[in-house]
Amino acid sequence: MFHLLAQPFSASCRKARFIGTVFKAHVEAYGLPTGALIVALMAHAGGSFVSGFVCGVIAMRSWYVAAAILGILWTCGGIAMLMVIPAPTWFAVADVLLYVPGALLGVKLGGVLMGRSSPSVATQ
């Protein structure tokens, strides 16, 4: 019975692997446009910023620590992405360096908007 349920999933995994292989070969052969890489950098930094912002809005204490952890998690995801999709060196360096500062900037803005002046002060 289980094999009947797993068979469609297995086929979709094979198809996804094939598409990923084709995409990787295309990127290795032709590269990606600079504009697409810049948009990807903005999306990655924006995601890190928004996660830090939400952390600054909802966290009551230790929000810089939580934002730094989120930035590190984003960095791990970015490194995993760079292992799968080939990218120019400038993109890889910028991508890895933007996550933690983006999260910290977001948490700072979120804390300021919530009226917290210090990360160690918890409001009741």
Strands (DSSP E) found in 34-116: none
Task: Give 81-103 pLDDT, tens digit per residue.
Answer: 899 888 889 999 999 999 999 99
Structural element, H or E, at residue 25: helix 2-30
pLDDT at 59 over 70: yes
Query: For the chain, what are the domain ranges?
Result: 1-30, 34-124
Distance CA 81, CA 85 (A): 6
Task: Give 21-43 pLDDT, tens digit per residue.
Answer: 776 777 777 777 888 889 999 99
DSSP type of residue 123: P
Distance CA 113, CA 118 (A): 12
Distance CA 103, CA 91 (A): 19
